[in-house]
């Protein structure tokens, strides 16, 4: 009897142990599957750009090392149609946070809500990791898109808060973007309660060629003053409209993150204009990058911008020539020389030499 009882106890213990092992294995497998699913839905990307700059404005030599950008962003794919992105620049401020929802089965319509790069101009939506110039954007884009030193609007890195609808039609031959934005820029509450409207249309008649027109209609709220626009004072609400037309041709497109392996010869040109209150401004650029040997490209650009078209002397023209070498995927070294030709209101012509290293993943 005791032997049977002992055997029964051993059998029960064995079954319990086996069940426990099976449950633990199942839980562990569940955790592995859960972690695998989570990591497959989240992607991390980032880049850093830093280097050295020399210039001699008004005959005064200036040189300095710099760290221009250190960005990291995470994109979460919640469903096959719904995603979320968060981007932070560790040398600056939070740049983007938005959610995308694809309404249609294809790419005909997607809705974006949050803080993101707006659609005005060809250059503004592009990543600095792809753009040819070390100073990244042309002067006209820097001022008119809010990327750079517009003292009336402030530096907003070409981003704003709002809602956008975009998509591709006619077998990807036609791309459109329509947006309603606060108009105050990043990380700021709207100060005039008047929303700005942006529209862009892009036609792609043949592979590699795109023809683009964009417009921006809105009201600015001045956060500073500008010497070339003395009628607008801090706190004023003013007309802030923009337009642009341009074209770009690339021999082939970049493939994923392989910029080095898929370097196209490219040329891009755009003409831009704007109105801030009663003052009109305009400018344009033509920029080209041509692969020459191995992973080495020649870069050339000519661009100009006139801050006030009614008053002489507020114009600047930059002529740039340089080299860039792609040493790994999205990583490159750049060297560029720029001759800056200034209108008499801005000072004397000067030279600008820049070197930069870009590391990206």
Give per-residue burial for 349-359: e unless 16+ CB within 10 Å, then b: ebebebbbebb
pLDDT (tens digit, 9 = 90+) per residue, 60-92?
999 999 999 999 999 999 999 999 999 999 988
Please calculate the CA angle 336-260-268 and round it to the nearest 5 degrees: 55
Over residues 221-229, mean pLDDT: 95
Domain boundaries along the sequence of the chain: 71-277
With 0-12 CB in 10 A as exposed, 13-18 as middle and 19+ as buried, what is 304?
middle
Confidence of residue 58 (pLDDT cuts 50, 70, 90): confident
- Average per-residue pLDDT in the chain? 90
Cβ–Cβ under 8 Å, residues 229 and 292: no
Which two structure tokens, joined as six digits, stand for 201? Answer: 């249309």
Cβ–Cβ under 8 Å, residues 123 and 272: no
**What pLDDT, on a 0 to 100 scale, did the predictor assign at position 99?**
97
**What pLDDT, on a 0 to 100 scale, did the predictor assign at position 160?**
96
* Nearest-angstrom CA–CA distance, 218 and 198: 9
**What pLDDT, on a 0 to 100 scale, did the predictor assign at position 12?**
45
**What pLDDT, on a 0 to 100 scale, did the predictor assign at position 193?**
86
* Nearest-angstrom CA–CA distance, 4 and 20: 24
């Amino acid at each position: 009897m005791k032997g049977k009882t002992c055997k029964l106890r051993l059998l029960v213990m064995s079954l319990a142990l086996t069940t426990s092992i099976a449950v633990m294995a199942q839980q562990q497998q569940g955790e592995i599957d859960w972690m695998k699913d989570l990591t497959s839905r989240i992607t991390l990307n980032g880049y850093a750009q830093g280097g050295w700059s020399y210039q001699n404005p008004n005959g005064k030599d200036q040189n300095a090392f710099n760290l221009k950008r250190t960005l990291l962003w995470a994109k979460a794919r919640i469903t096959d149609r719904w995603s979320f992105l968060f981007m932070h620049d560790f040398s600056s401020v939070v740049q983007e946070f938005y959610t995308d929802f694809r309404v249609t089965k294809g790419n005909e319509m997607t809705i974006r809500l949050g803080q993101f790069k707006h659609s005005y101009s060809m250059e503004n939506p592009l990543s600095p990791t792809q753009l040819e110039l070390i100073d990244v954007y042309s002067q006209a884009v820097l001022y008119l898109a809010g990327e750079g030193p517009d003292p009336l609007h402030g530096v907003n890195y070409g981003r704003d808060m709002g809602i956008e609808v975009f998509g591709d039609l006619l077998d990807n031959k036609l791309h459109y973007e329509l947006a309603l934005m606060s108009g105050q820029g990043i990380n700021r509450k709207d100060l005039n309660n008047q929303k700005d409207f942006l529209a862009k249309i892009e036609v792609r008649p043949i592979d590699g060629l795109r023809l683009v027109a964009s417009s921006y209609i809105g009201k600015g709220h001045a956060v500073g003053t500008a010497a070339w626009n003395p009628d607008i004072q801090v706190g004023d609400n003013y007309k802030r409209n923009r337009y642009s037309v341009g074209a770009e041709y690339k021999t082939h497109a970049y493939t994923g993150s392989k910029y080095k392996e898929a370097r196209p010869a490219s040329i891009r040109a755009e003409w831009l204009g704007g109105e801030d209150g009663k003052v009109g401004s305009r400018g344009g650029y033509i920029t080209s990058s041509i692969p020459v040997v191995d992973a080495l490209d020649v870069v050339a650009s000519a661009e100009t911008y006139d801050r006030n078209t009614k008053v002489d002397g507020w114009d600047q023209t930059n002529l740039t020539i340089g080299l860039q070498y792609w040493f790994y995927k999205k990583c490159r070294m750049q060297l560029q020389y720029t001759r800056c030709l200034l209108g008499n209101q801005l000072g004397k012509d000067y030279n600008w030499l820049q070197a930069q290293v870009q590391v990206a993943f």
